[in-house]
Structure 1
Amino acid sequence: MYATTHSYFSLRYGTLSEEDLVVLARQHGFPAVALTDINNSSGIFPFVKACQEQNIQPVAGIEFRKDNQWLYTGIAKNEKGLQELNEYLSCYNLSERSLPQIAWKPKDINFETEVDFENAILIYPLNRRNPETLKAYEYLGVQPSEVNKTVLAAGKKVREKLVIHAPMTYVNAEGQELHRHLRAIDNNILLSQLQPEHGLANDAFFRPIDKLRAQYAMLPGIWENTEKLLQQCSFTFDFQQRRNKQSFTGDHYDDKMLLEKLAWDGLRNRYGTHDKVAAARVKHELDIIDKLGFAAYFLITWDVIRYSMSRGFYHVGRGSGANSVVAYCLHITDVDPIQLDLYFERFLNPKRTSPPDFDIDYSWDERDEVIDYIFKRYGREHTALMGAMSTFQENAAMRELGKVYGLPKTEIDELVKNPDDPLLQNSITKNIKTYSALLQDFPNVRSIHAGGILISEQPLTCFTALDMPPKGFQTVQWDMYTAEAIGFEKLDILSQRGIGHIKECVQLVRQNKGLKIDAHEVEKFKQDEQVKKQLASGDTIGCFYIESPSMRGLLSKLRCDNYLTLVAASSIIRPGVAKSGMMREYIQRFHHPERIRHIHPVLGEQLQETFGVMVYQEDVLKVCHHFAGLDLADADVLRRGMSGKYRSRSEFQKLVDKFFHNCREKGYPDAITKEVWRQVESFAGYSFSKAHSASFAVESYQSLYLKAHYPLEFMVAVINNFGGFYRTWVYVNEARKAGGNVLLPCVNHSRHLTSLQGTDVYLGFIHIESLEQKIAHRIVAEREKNGPYSSLHDLISRAYLTLEATILLIRINALRFSGRNKKELLWEAHQLLNNKPAVQETCMFQLTPKEFRLPTLSHCELEDAFDEMELLGFPVSITLFDLLKTEFRGEMMASEMVGNIGKKVRMVGNLVCTKYVRTVRGEIMQFGTFLDAESNFFDTVHFPPSLKNYPFKGMGVYLILGKITEEFGFASLEVEKLAKLPFQSDPRY
C-alpha cells in the first residue's frame, strides 16, 4: 500500500494523472492508495472515481508544505476526515496565515482555541516531533533513506508511532526529469540551479510492493503500523447524489408550491390569462422540475434576480436556461422560448447526465454586489466561487521550458514560431520539445471560473479546501468538470460592458431629458420602426454583439429588420458556422428561397425558419427527433455526445445505433439517412444554442432602441463603459455624428468619466494619458464642494496639483476658461510650482504668483491637435483629415459606393480596424474598415497578392485604389494598392 502519493494536481511537482496513478497501483497489486497532493484536494474525486473503477481502496489526504518544506501529511479516515483536513487548510488559506510547523486545528476563524483532529491522521517528518508528545492520531513517517539511522535510534515505544513515508511522485527516470523541469519552472530558475531546498524530490520513484517491503525490512512493525493506519481509512462517495442546496424554503413540498405560484403569476404577466399553449408548457416544465428535484435551483436563481431588480440592476438571463418558460415567467430571462420554439429538454431532461446552469449577466460595475449578496444570503460555509484549472499548452510549455534552459527571449520566440526549423535543432531544443509534449494538458495554475458560483447543502469543505484569490471571494479548488461529476449545478453570475452602457444610457436620458425608460420592454423595442430601420442598415456601432464590421455587413446582407433574423444572424456569425460555409449558404437561401432543395421533406418542415440550414444546437434536436424519431431527451444526449465531450461513451454509440435503426424502420433509403447523419454530425460540433443567440439578440435590441431614440446619451454611455469592439475615438466620432458638441476635458465642467450637458459632451479626465486619477477625482470633488475654479493659481491651490499634472491639464486645454493661451499658462505653472516642495493637502504655505509680462507667443490649432493625439490618442479640435498634407479626400465617398459597383476608384479613409483570415491555401488575407471624410464607414478586402505588396502600416489615413464590389447589396472595395498618407509636421519641432 502507498500512504503518500502525488498526482499532477501537486502543481508543478507531480508527474502522473490520478487515473494513471491508480492504474499503476492496480497493475502492481496494491489494495489501497492514498492521494496526498500538496496543499490542495483538487484531485480527490477523480482519484476516488478511478479507484472505484479499478476496485482499489481510495484514501484521501493532503500534504502540507510551507516554502517547499514538508511540514506534515494528513490522512482522512473517512469523509468527515477529509472535511477536517479541508477545513484546516481553508482556515489558513482564507486568513492568509502561514501553516504552522506543528499542526493545530483552530476551533474558529479567530484562532483562539485548539481542538483535536477526530477523523484524520497526521504524519510528521521523523525528526520534527518528540515521539513522547505525539497524540493518538499523530505518527512519524520514515523515508527509505532514514531506515538505517532509525533502526539504531528507535525503541519499542517509538516504533509504535512509525509508519512508512515513501512519497511517490514519478515512475521512472523520465518522470524524475519531468519533475525536475517542473520544479525549475515553479521556482523560476535555471534547471542547473535546482537544489533540494527548491522542493526537489530526489528519491520519489514508484516502488513495487516487494521492493517497498524489502526497504523497510530492518524496521519490525512499521509495515504492520502502516497497514493498520490505512485499514482505519475508508473513503466512499456517491457520484449520483446532487450536492447543491436542496431546499430554498426549508421544505421540498413548500419549494414546489412556491415555484408553482411564482410561475403561474409570471405566466399571467408574460402571456395573459388565456394562452393555453403557454399554460401547458408551464405545467409540463413544472412536472419535470419537481420530478428531478430542481425547484430549489430555480428559486435560488429567482431570489438573486429579485434582489438585483430591487436594487435597480439590469440583467440578461442567457444560456440554455432561456429554453425554459418557467425561467421566462420568473423574469430570470427575457427570452420567450415559445416564440422561438425552444425545447425545454435542451436545458433539463431526465436523461441529461450533466446538471444545467443559469447564466445571468450583470453590468461590470454591479456584478460584485450581486455576488456579495449571494455569499451573505446563503452563508460562506455553503457558498464559493467555482475554480478553474489553467493547463500547460504547447506554446506556453515551450516558453517556460526555454526559460529554465536559459534561452534568450528571441530564441524562444523563434522556437515557438518555427519548432521544426532545421537551424533550431540541437540537444537543448530537443529536450524542450520532448518535455513540452509530456506536459501537454498538465494542470499548471489554479484560477477562478469566469462567473460560476456554488451553493451547497453540506459545508463546501466536505468536498474541497478553499482558496482566497485577490477578488476577495472564497473559491473551491477544482473546476466545473469535477463539480459536474460530483453533482453540483453552478449558477453563473457574469459581467459585461454591454449591460453597463444600457444602464448608464437610461440614467443619462433621465438626467438629460427627464424621461424614464424601462430597458426590459423588449417586445415594444422589436416593433419599433426606427429600430427596424437602423438594424437593417447596419447602423449598430456601440450596440452589444452586433457592432463589428462583419456583423454590420451580415445585417445589411440579410436586410435584417426583425427579431428572428437577428437571432439567426447572432448564431451564423460565429466562427464555426461561418468557416463551414453555412453562413454563406444561409444568406443565399435567404435571397433565393425558390432554389432550396431539401434532402427530405422533414428537414424542410422543421428547419423552415432557417431555410433548411441547421443554425442552432436546437436544430440538431429537431432533426434527431422529427426525422429519426428519437425522443427529445435522447436527442440532447446525442447532441452533447457529438460536441466531443462524451464521444467515447457507450451510451452515445447506443443512440447512434438507435438513430439508424429508427430510420430503417421509417423506410428511409440508406443514402438519405447517411447524408442527414453526416450533416448532423458535422454541424453539432460547432453549433451554438438558439437560446444563447436569442439572449444576445434581446440585449442587442435594448442597445438598438436606445441608440435609435437617444443616440447622444447612448454613445456617451458606450464611451464610459469601455470594452467595446472599437477604440474610444470611434465612439467619440459617433457622438459627434449624433449631434454632440464634443469638447476637450475642462476643469470646470468635466468629470472623471465623460459627461453630457444638453448636447455638450465633455470628455472625462480618465482619457488623459498619465494623469493620476486621484488628482482627477480631487479636482471634481473640490469643484463640487466650493464652486468653479477662477484661475490657474486657484486650481493649483485648491486641488493640490503637482507640476506634472498641471502641465498635462494645460496641454489638453483644460483651463481654456481662463482666456489665456497654453504658453502663458505653462510659464505661470512653472513660476508657481517649479523647484518648490510638493503641495500637500494641508496646504502649509500660500502660493503667490509674481507679476510678469510675456511677449506675444505664436499659437496654431495644429499644435493643439498634436497635443490631443499625444494625450488622448485622437484629435478633437480638428480631424485627422485636417492634418494631412494633401487636400485630396478621395474620388468617392462611402455613401456613393452602392451606385458605382464595378468601378475602379481612389478613396481616402481613416483606418478603424483590420481582421486577418487565412485562405484555403493557408495564405493571409485581410479585411479593413475605414471612415471617410464625411465620417461614414466603408469596408475593404485585401487578397494575398495585394496585401503582400501593399501591407497596412499602422493606424492613420490611407489612399486606397480598388474596385467597388457588391455581395447581396453590401458594397466593399477590393484593394489593388494602398498607401499611408503623411501628416503635416508639428510646427513646434
Structure 2
Amino acid sequence: MYLNVHSQYSLRYGTLSVSKLIEEAACRGVTQMVLTDINNSTGVMEFIRACREAGIKPIGGLEFRKEKRLLYIGIAKNKEGMRELNELLSFHNLNKEVLPDEAPSMQHSYIIYPFGYANPLKANEYIGIRYEELHSLYNKNVEVLKQKLVVLQPVFVAGKIEYRLHEYLRAIDLNTLLTKVEKEDRCLANDCFQEPGFLEAKFSKFAFILDNSRALLDSCSMDEYAGSRVNLNRKTFTGSKKDDRELLEKLAIGGVEYRYGKSNKGALKKVKQELKVIFELDFCAYFLITWDIIRYASSRGYYHVGRGSGANSTVAYCLRITDVDPIELDLYFERFLNAQRTSPPDFDLDFSWDEREDVQDYIFKRYGAAHTALLGAMSTFKDRSVIREISKVMGLPKAEIDGYTDPSRSALNRDNATFKKITAIYAMLQNMPNQRSIHAGGVLISEEPITYYTALDLPPKGMPTVQWDMYEAEKIGFDKYDVLSQRGIGHIKEAVRLVEDNLGKKVDIHQVKKFMKDPELNNKLKIGDTIGCFYIESPAMRQLLTKLSCDNYLVLVAASSIIRPGVASSGMMPAYIRYHHDPSKVVYLHPVMEELLGETYGVMVYQEDVIKICIHFAGMDGTDADILRRGMSGKYRSKAEFDRLVEKFFSEARKLGRPEETIAEVWRQVSSFAGYSFSKAHSASFAVESYQSLFLKTYFPKEFMVAVLNNYGGFYTRWLYVHELQKAGAKVHLPCVNNSLTVVSIKGADAYLGFIGVLGLENKLMERIVEERFENGNYLSAEDLIKRTGIGLEQVVILIRVGALRFTGKSKKELLWEVHLLMGQKAQPANHTELFVMEKKNYSMPQLVDTDLEHAYHELELLGYCLSMSMFDMLKTNYRGEVSAKSLKPHTGRMVKMVGWYVCEKTVHTKNNKKMWFGTFLDAEGNFFDTTHFPNTTPAYPFRGHGCYLISGMVAEDFGSPSIEVKQFAKLPIHANPIME
C-alpha cells in the first residue's frame, strides 16, 4: 500500500537512506512499494537494485511539489513511464518554469492527487486518501470516486527519533528556529511504515480502496531496467560498429606515421595489439568520441592536455588525444586496459578555463540534448560547520555556538549536556545527502535518452545535469568523459599570443621533445626557478626538484607523482631521493620488487606500480588488482568488496610463499600510497605541460608572467607574480586610465596593471573607461574622464587613490579636492555631447603633497600589495638579517637571523596529530627561502599574516636544499599610515 515512499534524497526532508528504507519495509512484510522523492529521481536506480536484492518489487516515481504544497505524485508503470516523469520535471527545471498545478496527459504513468482535488480525473489519475481522512467519506456517495481512490500513506521517517531529526532538517533548510517550523513545513509524525495489517484494518470498511491500490501497484513493472551493470554509453560514433572499427584503425595507423615516422615497425605492432584489445572490449566509440572532441577543439585553435589512464595507450598518442609517448616511457598497458575490464579507460581532457564551456557546448550540440548531460555530485552533512547549523536552529547565542565549534574547548564541551545533544544530532546527520551539485568536469553521452534514468537539473553552470553522482553513474552503466579546465593551459595560450603581439615572434609550443633537451630549461628545473610554471611552482615541488637535482624529463615525471601525499605518507619519498643519488644503497623488500620497480629503486611511484605488485607479488588477477587500486583512491564505494580484496591480497601472497613480514610491509606501502598517486601517463602529461611553461618562462619571462597574472595566477597570491614580473625585467606601472586595459598589458618592457586587480572598482566601469578611450582618444583631465564615462564620485576616488589619474601631473590630494568640488555627491551623466564647453573657475589651492608612504598604504588597501615601495622599505627597522637566502648553505648547522617577507605557509599534522608549519619567504634581495616551524615553537611564535618577519633559527640542509628550523619568530612593525595619524 506504499505508493509514496521517500528517502534521504528528498533533501532536508526525508531521513531514511535507501538501504534503511528497504530494511524497514522488509521488517514489516512490505512486498512492493514506490519511491517518490520530492522533485527528484536521484535514488530510483539505486532503489531498484537494492529492492531486487531484498526480494521486494521496486517501482519508480516522483513527488511533484511547488514550494510547500504537494501537487501530485507520479508513479511509473514501466521504463517509459519513468522517462515521462523525468521529462516533466526536467522540462520545468531546464526552462526555469514552475510546475503546473495539474499534470499533463501521460500514457505510461499514474498520477495521484491529494484528497480534496476536485477537477475531473483522466483515466490514469487517482485521488490519494490518508486513513485520517476517511471520516470525510461517511454518509457520502462514493460511487463516483470508487474506482479512483487509493491509499496514501507517505513514508518520510522510521519513528519518533527520526521524526525529531526531520524537524531539525526542516529548520536547517528554512534557516529558522525549531519552534518556528510550521505544520505545513514538515511531515506528520505517523508518516512511516506501519505495522503489518494496520492499513488493512483502517481501510477495512472501504476495501475497494485497498483493491485499487493493489491493482495499481501490480500493474507496474521496472523489469526493463537491467539487473546487472550494462554499458549505457553511446554505442557507436559512426552509427555502425563495423565502421567504428575501420575508422579507429585507419586513424590510429595513420597516426603512427605522424608520431613515429613511416618505418617504425615496433610502434605499428604495438598499436595493432592495442586495437585488438579495444575491439574485443567494444571501446571503439569511446575512443572515437574522445578523438572527435579533440578534433573540434583543435579546429578552434584550442590547446589541450590529455591525461588519465587512457594516456597509457599508444593508440591515444597516435590519435593526438595525448602528447605522452607510451613507448618512450614504457607505460604499463594493463593499467589502461586489460581483458577483464568492463569500463573504458579514463581520459581527462584539460582545456583553458575560458575555452572549456565552448567545448562542452559542442558536445551537447553534436550528440544531442536528449543524450548528453553533465555529471552531478552530491554534497553531504559531513563538515563540522553543521554543528553551527544545529546550534542556530536550537536558538543558542553566538558566543555559545562559537564555544562549541572551537576545537581548543573540546575538553570543556565534553560533559556539557547541550553539546552532547548537538553531537548526537550531528552523528545522525553525518554523511546524509545535503544538496545536489555538479561534478568538476564529467560529461555523459548516452545511447538511450538519458531521462530513462534521471531527471535533469539546471545549476548555475547553465547546462543540463543529472541528479546523481559519478558512483551511481558507474553502477547504472554510464562512463563519463572528463572535460576539465585549468589555469596552466590559459597561461601557455596567452603567453604565446603575447610573445607574437609584443615581440613579433611565433612560438611553436608543441616542440616539447626539443624543450626537454634544452640545458637552460633543465638548469631552471634543477635550481627550482619555476614560479608560475604549471604544477612545479609550489614550495614543496621546488624543494623536491632541488633535492633530486632534477635536470631531465624522466626525473620530472617521477617527481610529479612523488610529490603526491601517498608517497610522502608511506615514508618512501626520502628513500626515493636517497636512492636516486646513490642507487647502490637500494635495498629491495623482495626479488619481485626489484624486477618490477627497478626503474624507481623499489619505490612505488605510480598507480601502475600498485597493480604490478598486486598481480606479481600477491598473485591477484588484473581485474581485482585494478578494483583494489580504485578502492584505495576513493573511486569504489563498496566497503565489503574492498575488504574482500584486501583479504585476497594477503591470502594469495601467502599461497605464493611470501614471508609474512614482507607481505605486511608491502601492504603498508601499497595502502598508504595508492590513494593519492598518479598513473605514469598522468604524471608524464603534467611534466609535458611543465616543460612548455618553463620554456616560456625561460625565453619570454615578461610575457609569460603577464599571462600568469591575466589567468588569475596559480599557487601564490597576485603580488608575488607582480614581483616575478619585475624580476624578469619589466617596468611595472600602476593602473592608468590612459594606458591600462581591464587586464595586465605589456608593450616592450612596460607592463601596466589592469583595472581588474583594483578592489572596489566596478566591472562595467572598467570596460567603459577602455572602450571610451579607444573610441575618442586619451582622457585630458579628471573632469574629462568624469564627463565621458559618467563615473560616480566613489569610483573616481578609487581611481585617484590607486594612482590611475597621475597623468594629470597633480597630486592625489589636489585631484580629490577637484572632484569633490566638481561632483559633490552626484554622479554625472555619461556620453553626452556638450553644446558649449564652459570653462570652469580655477581656485587657488595650497600646495598638497603626497608622500611615498601614503602611496604605499593606498596600494595596500586597493591592490592588496605595494608596487611603489617594497614591504622591506615600510619597516621601522633598517635591519635586514645576518645572511641572505643565497648564503644559507655555508651556515648549515648554525643559528642565523634573517628578515623575510611572507609568501605563504602550509599546515601539516604530525603522527601525534600536532600541528606544524612550513613557511616560504623572500629575503631583502628578492630570493626565496623556506622555514620549518615545529609544534613546540609554533604556538609561542605564530604566523600573523602578510608582512615581514624576524626569523631566528638553525640552518638545516636536506639533499642540497637549505631551510631554517625556526626557534623564534615575530612579525616586524611597519611605519604607521600617515593618513590615519
Q: Same fold (TM over 0.5)?
A: yes
1:400 matched to 2:376? The reply is: no
* Residue aligning to 2:532: 542
* Residue aligning to 1:738: 728
Alpha-carbon distance in 1 for matches of 2:265, 2:613 = 26
1:292 matched to 2:281? The reply is: yes
The one of 501, 504, 522 equivalent to 1:511 is: 501
1:944 matched to 2:935? The reply is: yes
The one of 848, 852, 864 equivalent to 2:843 is: 852
1:283-316 CA deviation, whole Å, 9 max, x = no partner? 1221222222211111111111111111111111
Write the mapping of 1:721-870 to structure 2, written as runs, cut at 5 A: 721-842=711-832, 848-870=839-861
Q: CA deviation at 1:343?
A: 2.3
1:19 matched to 2:9? The reply is: no
Write the mapping of 1:164-179 to structure 2, written as runs, cut at 5 A: 164-179=151-166
Q: CA deviation at 1:202?
A: 3.4
Alpha-carbon distance in 1 for matches of 2:827, 2:631 = 70
1:2 matched to 2:7? The reply is: no
Q: CA deviation at 1:448?
A: 0.7
1:887 matched to 2:878? The reply is: yes
Checking the alignment, whether the CA contact within 8 Å between 1:640 and 1:646 is kept in structure 2 is no
Q: CA 1:847 to 1:342, structure 2 compared with 1: closer, same or farther past 3 Å?
A: farther
1:742-775 CA deviation, whole Å, 9 max, x = no partner? 1111111110000011011111111111111211
Q: Give the secondary-structure state (helix, strand or coil) at the position aligned to 1:223.
A: helix
Checking the alignment, whether the CA contact within 8 Å between 2:793 and 2:826 is kept in structure 1 is no
Q: % of aligned pairs identical? A: 53
Write the mapping of 1:273-672 to structure 2, written as runs, cut at 5 A: 273-418=262-407, 420-423=410-413, 425-643=415-633, 645=636, 648-649=639-640, 653=644, 657=648, 660-661=651-652, 664-665=655-656, 668-669=658-659, 671-672=661-662
Checking the alignment, whether the CA contact within 8 Å between 1:351 and 1:637 is kept in structure 2 is no
Q: CA deviation at 1:681?
A: 4.1
1:495-520 CA deviation, whole Å, 9 max, x = no partner? 11111111111111111111112223
Q: TM-score, normalised by structure 2?
A: 0.96
1:725 is matched by which residue type in structure 2?
Answer: F
Q: CA deviation at 1:844?
A: 7.0
1:704 matched to 2:690? The reply is: no
Q: CA deviation at 1:669?
A: 4.8
Checking the alignment, whether the CA contact within 8 Å between 2:177 and 2:395 is kept in structure 1 is yes
Checking the alignment, whether the CA contact within 8 Å between 1:320 and 1:689 is kept in structure 2 is yes
Q: Give the secondary-structure state (helix, strand or coil) at the position aligned to 1:691.
A: helix
Q: Give the secondary-structure state (helix, strand or coil) at the position aligned to 1:339.
A: helix
Checking the alignment, whether the CA contact within 8 Å between 2:759 and 2:863 is kept in structure 1 is yes
Q: Which runs of 5+ in 1 are unaligned?
A: 105-115
Q: Give the secondary-structure state (helix, strand or coil) at the position aligned to 2:128.
A: strand
Q: CA 1:396 to 1:812, structure 2 compared with 1: closer, same or farther past 3 Å?
A: closer
Count of matched residue pairs? 975
Moved more, 375-384 or 194-203: 194-203
Q: CA 1:720 to 1:648, structure 2 compared with 1: closer, same or farther past 3 Å?
A: closer
Q: Give the secondary-structure state (helix, strand or coil) at the position aligned to 1:362.
A: strand
* Residue aligning to 1:969: 960
* Residue aligning to 1:135: 122
* Residue aligning to 1:113: none
1:834-881 CA deviation, whole Å, 9 max, x = no partner? 255532344678674322232333333222222222211111122111
1:412-468 CA deviation, whole Å, 9 max, x = no partner? 232233485445644433332112111121111011111111111111111111111
Alpha-carbon distance in 2 for matches of 1:367, 1:156 = 61
Alpha-carbon distance in 2 for matches of 1:763, 1:476 = 42
The one of 174, 185, 197 equivalent to 2:184 is: 197
Q: CA 1:837 to 1:691, structure 2 compared with 1: closer, same or farther past 3 Å?
A: closer
Q: Which runs of 5+ in 2 are unaligned?
A: none
Q: Give the secondary-structure state (helix, strand or coil) at the position aligned to 2:370.
A: coil
Checking the alignment, whether the CA contact within 8 Å between 1:634 and 1:655 is kept in structure 2 is no
1:196 is matched by which residue type in structure 2?
Answer: K
The one of 194, 210, 235 equivalent to 1:223 is: 210
1:897 is matched by which residue type in structure 2?
Answer: L
Write the mapping of 1:101-140 to structure 2, written as runs, cut at 5 A: 101-104=101-104, 116-130=105-119, 133-140=120-127
Alpha-carbon distance in 2 for matches of 1:357, 1:837 = 56
* Residue aligning to 1:63: 63
Q: CA 1:891 to 1:676, structure 2 compared with 1: closer, same or farther past 3 Å?
A: closer
Write the mapping of 1:180-191 to structure 2, written as runs, cut at 5 A: 180-191=167-178
Q: Give the secondary-structure state (helix, strand or coil) at the position aligned to 2:937.
A: helix
* Residue aligning to 2:150: 163
Q: CA 1:772 to 1:413, structure 2 compared with 1: closer, same or farther past 3 Å?
A: same
Checking the alignment, whether the CA contact within 8 Å between 2:787 and 2:831 is kept in structure 1 is no
Alpha-carbon distance in 2 for matches of 1:776, 1:420 = 49
Alpha-carbon distance in 1 for matches of 2:290, 2:633 = 27
Checking the alignment, whether the CA contact within 8 Å between 2:160 and 2:189 is kept in structure 1 is no
Alpha-carbon distance in 2 for matches of 1:60, 1:835 = 62
Alpha-carbon distance in 2 for matches of 1:301, 1:552 = 34
2:220 is matched by which residue type in structure 1?
Answer: C
Q: Give the secondary-structure state (helix, strand or coil) at the position aligned to 1:473.
A: coil
Q: Give the secondary-structure state (helix, strand or coil) at the position aligned to 1:128.
A: coil
Q: CA deviation at 1:394?
A: 4.9
2:11 is matched by which residue type in structure 1?
Answer: L
Checking the alignment, whether the CA contact within 8 Å between 1:961 and 1:976 is kept in structure 2 is yes
Q: Give the secondary-structure state (helix, strand or coil) at the position aligned to 2:139.
A: helix
1:552-592 CA deviation, whole Å, 9 max, x = no partner? 11110000111221122121212232133221221122223
Moved more, 50-59 or 625-634: 625-634
Checking the alignment, whether the CA contact within 8 Å between 1:60 and 1:76 is kept in structure 2 is yes
1:148 matched to 2:135? The reply is: yes
Alpha-carbon distance in 1 for matches of 2:838, 2:198 = 85
Q: CA 1:656 to 1:925, structure 2 compared with 1: closer, same or farther past 3 Å?
A: closer
Q: CA 1:520 to 1:933, structure 2 compared with 1: closer, same or farther past 3 Å?
A: same
Checking the alignment, whether the CA contact within 8 Å between 2:281 and 2:342 is kept in structure 1 is no
Q: CA 1:926 to 1:651, structure 2 compared with 1: closer, same or farther past 3 Å?
A: closer
1:297-340 CA deviation, whole Å, 9 max, x = no partner? 11111111111111111111112221222111111112222222
1:891-936 CA deviation, whole Å, 9 max, x = no partner? 2111111232223222111111112223333332222111111111
Q: CA 1:651 to 1:472, structure 2 compared with 1: closer, same or farther past 3 Å?
A: closer
Checking the alignment, whether the CA contact within 8 Å between 1:355 and 1:488 is kept in structure 2 is no
1:126-170 CA deviation, whole Å, 9 max, x = no partner? 11134xx21110000011211122243342231211100101111
Q: CA 1:350 to 1:412, structure 2 compared with 1: closer, same or farther past 3 Å?
A: farther
Alignment root-mean-square deviation, CA: 2.1
Checking the alignment, whether the CA contact within 8 Å between 2:532 and 2:713 is kept in structure 1 is no
Alpha-carbon distance in 2 for matches of 1:499, 1:310 = 17
Alpha-carbon distance in 1 for matches of 2:665, 2:965 = 37
Q: CA deviation at 1:612?
A: 0.7
* Residue aligning to 2:924: 933
1:267 matched to 2:239? The reply is: no
